[in-house]
Structure 1
């Protein structure tokens, strides 16, 4: 049975090679029979990979330990859920899952090619065949999942304990699905470059696949963050870890591509940038696997290492070279449909600035992830670029995007006219300012919190005003709005979700941390909660045993009593204790408790306590953004959305839209005048107001909810602010991606003790950091040392880019207007010269 699965993979490889060769042949001689055979061969690849996958699952569920992968990554005592997910718990299985999903998406994409895109079939077969050939080549060589194992094992070694988590059961399939969906925009862009152009139907197809890939990747990234939040015990969900960054990079690339596609669709501009970003996004999907599996970068996500790294590196370099080469050599054949090269202050120029910030973040993440490798390889110096470096730039990028989101949505295409700018800009600013002032007074917000919520609430207000004016332009016909403008509505909801995320991220720095040691029945007060140790509990499930901390908690404000049960777990295949976090979650904050240690004899516990504001807002933002994406995907009318002329009226080359509005008015006048449509419009506005006001203002309200102080039996140990400031800038020498402040390893504890000692001696932060830098080298710093030559360059480049980039774009936009005026003047001079020559000829 196992051999059947292996030979099925080999047959799939043969099919993919055949499709690749026939696709290349068809580029010059597109014979229908040859093209059809290439397409059918790629569909057959899916059948072959599916058969191999079923064989793999059969071996796992029936504990066939003659298969090496099954023995190494499953066990007889594992729960059924994790027995099923062990399929993708390590390199060989995850690569097979990736291939299975990719082959399924390729088969579906080929089966749904529209008639207007049939001429792209040969190039699509080349792109799909090339990718599947690479994946299947690794499946039968470096990453063979059905390799035999002798002598046959007995019980199995089991899955990595960190992966036995519900979120990690879903995260890899979602991530691979998002990665694989990007192959369709990649293939269509490759085909457009080979063909030398694209059609309106091409844009519609690429938009659907890109938006679907964006939504699935968003889900995958958030699930990974949720896993880190509930499993690792450091209280955060995003640490700018190299593997986290590698999943973020294709998401950023496809986000920029979607915005560029909107510009291309509406104005005909930037077609070459669109093709480049589509292909770049797919190329970046393989960078994460190279980082995770090669072993060249340490990461908490690097669960396996193998010899597959060089193959992925060659493949990534090939894809990047192919992308750049095609765009530079054949990009000139892609002619935009713009009637003029002049860029005005308009919606497309706002989107251009939006793309700048997104691509700047992409470049920053790429450099921060890869540069330490380059520096070590070329100069032999180990440096660290971790969370503090990225956090230094992220607020500025986020602030720029939020401001552009508000103003850019009000602008019209091809001109910067804003309908009723005083109302649309000043009214949201007025109510956002009043609400922010009220919250700041009541909850003692600092300047940063006040400014953040002022900008976010103002942008939400501007978006709502834009929605109101769109509905008014459509004569309050909510039915027509939902029929023709679902892409706009979906984008509106996505942007509201993005603002939710920004508000959630902004609350991170307001979190409070403490430690407490509680004997049996002792209590402590922590930020408005009374926490009592009621002893330990013990349980065992399948391959894991758990020690449970029974903590009775009381909310001092509401009097609500609840139990939080942080746990420590130990698995049969690992002697190490792992965290199972106890979380009491409200919409406004999380009470996050880690059972750091325990004593079975006297039932005492040591707790790490965290109060994390606005975390729920981050998870809520995912639901909102994905909802918006799928609303946009439901739009199937060829025209994406209604346009409006300079007077704010519906403009269209199609009479059906205007006729629909007129018919709605005519029929509704006979009955109740537009009652249903107006109710629909009002419902849309109320929904927008509810989401914005209740969500964002409520989250701000919850940020400073400290509760009333009551008598304390045990005072938790609050971290020394000076200690915290120093420790968060030093990396843990033995763990991965954590600071000395967050880590619980013995070496980090010793370093914190040394920091406290030196602080008590009166030493400054700079002196303490210099001490550790001499002891460990510059590698111990979590961000590049600005005083070193390398560190100065690393800091200078993004700072200059962030400052000069927008100025360069402004200069380029102004130069385009001057060039347009000069071209018009030259054309006018030529016309005058021609007329004068004609007059002279007539006189002679």
Structure 2
């Protein structure tokens, strides 16, 4: 049976090569039979890979330990869910899953090609055949999943313990699905370059596939963040880990491509940039596998290393070279690529700035991920580029995107006119300013926090005003709006979700952390909660045993009693103890507790306590953005984003109107029925409710963070820990409660800039390893001696080298370039865009002047000829 699976993969490889060769031949001689033969062979590849995958699952469920992969990554005592997911728990299986999903998407894409795109079949077969050939080549060589093991193993070694988590069971399939969906825009862009142009139907097809890929990748990235949040125990969900970055880069590329596609569809501009970004996004999907499997970068997500890295490197270089080569050699054939249209202050110019910020973040992530490898390879110097470096730029990029989002949506295409700018811009600004002022006074916000709240609240108000005027221009006919303008409505919902995410990120930076050691029945007060240790309990399930901390938590604000159960788990195939986080989650905040250590004899526990505000807004934003993508994808008709002119007439690109639209048009204006008005009112009410509900929640979260219901001793504790810099050491309160240990801010400031020497991607502040604890102790000692932050960092830099810093040292030559280039790009990039837009106007005026002079010259010559 196993041999059948291997031969099935070999057959799939032969079919993919055949499809590639016939597709290439049909580029020169597009005979119907040859094209059909290439297409059908690529469809048959899916059948071959599916057979192999079913055999793989059969081997796993029936514990066939004669298969090497099954023995190494499954065991007889594993839960059924994780037996199923062990299929993709390591390199060989995940690569087979990747190939299975890619072949399925290729099949679906080929059988759903619209008649307007039939001429693209040869180039599509070449692109699909090339990708499938590479994947199947690895499946029968470096990452063969069905290799035999001799002698046959017993019981199985089991899955990586970190992967036995429900989120990680879903995350890889979603991520690979998102990756594979990007092959369709890649193939269509390749076909457009080969053909020398594209049609309006091409734009619609690419838009739908790109939106679907964007939505699935968004889900996958958020699931990965949720896994890190509940599994790793450091209290965060995004640490700019290299593998996290590698999944973010294709998402950023396809985000920029979607905005570029909108410009191309509406104005005919930037077609080459669109094609480049479509092909780049697919190319970047393989970068993560290269840096993870080659071993060149260490990551908490790197679960295995193999010899497959060089093959992926060659493949990535090939894809990038193909992309750049086709753009430079064939790009000038694309329609609109050679036009020198004037760029006015308009919606397309606002989108241009949006694309710039997204691509700037993409370049920043790419450089921050790859540059340490280049520096070590060329200069022999190890440097670290971790979370502090990215966090230094991300807020500015986010602020720029939020500001452009508000103004850009109000502008019209090509002329930049804003409908009633005073009402649309000033009114949202006034109420945002009032609300921000109230929050700042009550919560004592600093300048940066106040600015973030102001621009987010203002942009949300502007988006709602834009929706109101969009409906008003259609005479409040909600039916027509939903029928024709679902892409606009979907984009509106996505942008609201984006603002939810920004609000969640901003709130999470104001979290509070502490540590406490509690004996049996002892309590501690932490940020409005009273937490009591009620002892330990134990359980065993399948291949894991758990030590459970039973903590009774009382919310002092409403006297609500809850039980929180942080755990430590140990698996039969690993001697290490793992975290299972205890979380009490409300919509406004998470009480996040890690069972750091325990003593079974006296039932004492050591806890790491985190109060994380507005985390739920981050997870909620995913639901909103995916909902928006679904609304936009559901739009199937060609006419999109119906627009009304100043006289109430429908702007139509051609002379034909469909029957539905004719039924609702009378006297050059839209009919307004009661049901349509109700639909419009419902759309507006829902938008306002969701937005205000979100940002009211942020303010409520801040109320809790100020600990208004804590007693005077607890308030003094937080004040001492955060203000005076004293490191409290577990003395008892008058009530008998234990005082949690609050980290000295000066110690925290230094510790978060030093990386843990033994763990991956974590700071000395976050890590719980013995070496990090020793480094924190040394930092505390030097702080107590009165040494400055610079002196302490220099001490550790001298002991470990520049590698110990989480961000490049700006005083070094490498660090100066790493910091200087992005800063200059962020400062001068928008200036260059503005100058380029102004230059386009000058070119247009110059061209018009030259044309006028030629006409005058022609007329004068004709006059002279007549006189003669």
TM-score by length of 1: 0.98
SS for the counterpart of 1:510 is coil
The question of whether the paired residues in 2 share the 8 Å contact of 1:101 and 1:177 is answered with: yes
Give the whole-Å Cα distance in 1 for the aligned partners of 2:639 and 2:756. 55
Q: Describe the shift of the 1:582–1:145 C-alpha distance in structure 2 as closer, same or farther (beyond 3 A).
A: same
Counterpart for residue 766 of structure 1: 790
Gaps of 5+ in 2: 714-732
Provide, for residues 181-204 of structure 1, a one-character-per-residue CA deviation record: whole Å limited to 9, x for no partner. 000000000000001000010000
| 1:330-345 alignment runs, 5 A limit | 330-336=330-336, 341-345=341-345
Counterpart for residue 346 of structure 1: 346
The question of whether the paired residues in 2 share the 8 Å contact of 1:665 and 1:674 is answered with: no
SS for the counterpart of 1:682 is helix
Counterpart for residue 627 of structure 1: 627
Counterpart for residue 687 of structure 2: 688
Give the whole-Å Cα distance in 2 for the aligned partners of 1:693 and 1:562. 29
Give the whole-Å Cα distance in 2 for the aligned partners of 1:545 and 1:404. 52
SS for the counterpart of 2:664 is helix
SS for the counterpart of 2:521 is coil
| 1:180-219 alignment runs, 5 A limit | 180-219=180-219
Gaps of 5+ in 1: none
Provide, for residues 297-340 of structure 1, a one-character-per-residue CA deviation record: whole Å limited to 9, x for no partner. 00000000000000000000000000000000110111218976
Cα offset for 1:445?
2.5
Q: Which stretch shows the higher mean deviation, 500-509 or 92-101? A: 500-509
| 1:137-216 alignment runs, 5 A limit | 137-216=137-216
Q: Describe the shift of the 1:789–1:484 C-alpha distance in structure 2 as closer, same or farther (beyond 3 A).
A: same
Q: Does 1:810 align with 2:834?
A: yes
Give the whole-Å Cα distance in 2 for the aligned partners of 1:380 and 1:357. 33
Give the whole-Å Cα distance in 1 for the aligned partners of 2:130 and 2:645. 46
Counterpart for residue 807 of structure 2: 783
Counterpart for residue 481 of structure 1: 481
The question of whether the paired residues in 1 share the 8 Å contact of 2:475 and 2:672 is answered with: no
Counterpart for residue 699 of structure 2: 700
Give the whole-Å Cα distance in 2 for the aligned partners of 1:120 and 1:493. 33
Give the whole-Å Cα distance in 2 for the aligned partners of 1:655 and 1:481. 20
Q: Describe the shift of the 1:648–1:357 C-alpha distance in structure 2 as closer, same or farther (beyond 3 A).
A: farther
Q: Which stretch shows the higher mean deviation, 651-660 or 214-223? A: 651-660
RMSD: 1.5
Which of 754, 763, 771 is residue 739 of structure 1 equivalent to?
A: 763
Provide, for residues 29-72 of structure 1, a one-character-per-residue CA deviation record: whole Å limited to 9, x for no partner. 00100000000000000000000000000000000000000000
SS for the counterpart of 1:445 is coil
Provide, for residues 748-771 of structure 1, a one-character-per-residue CA deviation record: whole Å limited to 9, x for no partner. 000000000000111000000000
Give the whole-Å Cα distance in 1 for the aligned partners of 2:828 and 2:401. 17
Give the whole-Å Cα distance in 2 for the aligned partners of 1:718 and 1:776. 28
Cα offset for 1:158?
0.2
Q: Describe the shift of the 1:128–1:441 C-alpha distance in structure 2 as closer, same or farther (beyond 3 A).
A: same
SS for the counterpart of 2:513 is strand
SS for the counterpart of 1:561 is strand
The question of whether the paired residues in 1 share the 8 Å contact of 2:474 and 2:648 is answered with: no
SS for the counterpart of 1:650 is coil
Provide, for residues 557-613 of structure 1, a one-character-per-residue CA deviation record: whole Å limited to 9, x for no partner. 111110110000000000000000000011111000000000000000000000001
Counterpart for residue 830 of structure 1: 854
Q: Does 1:842 align with 2:843?
A: no
Give the whole-Å Cα distance in 2 for the aligned partners of 1:304 and 1:213. 27
Provide, for residues 446-482 of structure 1, a one-character-per-residue CA deviation record: whole Å limited to 9, x for no partner. 2222211110010000000000000001010000000
Counterpart for residue 709 of structure 1: 710
SS for the counterpart of 1:717 is coil
Cα offset for 1:673?
6.0
The question of whether the paired residues in 2 share the 8 Å contact of 1:453 and 1:700 is answered with: no
Give the whole-Å Cα distance in 2 for the aligned partners of 1:413 and 1:2. 59
Provide, for residues 773-803 of structure 1, a one-character-per-residue CA deviation record: whole Å limited to 9, x for no partner. 0000000000000011110011000000001
Counterpart for residue 39 of structure 1: 39
Counterpart for residue 722 of structure 2: none
Q: Does 1:306 align with 2:292?
A: no
| 1:462-477 alignment runs, 5 A limit | 462-477=462-477
Cα offset for 1:707?
3.7
Counterpart for residue 721 of structure 2: none
| 1:592-603 alignment runs, 5 A limit | 592-603=592-603
Give the whole-Å Cα distance in 2 for the aligned partners of 1:509 and 1:648. 48
Provide, for residues 70-90 of structure 1, a one-character-per-residue CA deviation record: whole Å limited to 9, x for no partner. 000000000000000000000
Give the whole-Å Cα distance in 2 for the aligned partners of 1:73 and 1:549. 30
SS for the counterpart of 1:818 is helix
SS for the counterpart of 2:545 is strand
Cα offset for 1:526?
0.3
Counterpart for residue 605 of structure 2: 605
Provide, for residues 787-843 of structure 1, a one-character-per-residue CA deviation record: whole Å limited to 9, x for no partner. 111100110000000011001000100000000001011111111111111111111
| 1:39-58 alignment runs, 5 A limit | 39-58=39-58
Counterpart for residue 291 of structure 1: 291
Give the whole-Å Cα distance in 1 for the aligned partners of 2:256 and 2:86. 35
**Deviation beyond 6 Å, 4+ runs, structure 1:** none
Number of equivalences: 842
Cα offset for 1:641?
1.6
Give the whole-Å Cα distance in 1 for the aligned partners of 2:115 and 2:324. 29
Cα offset for 1:663?
3.5
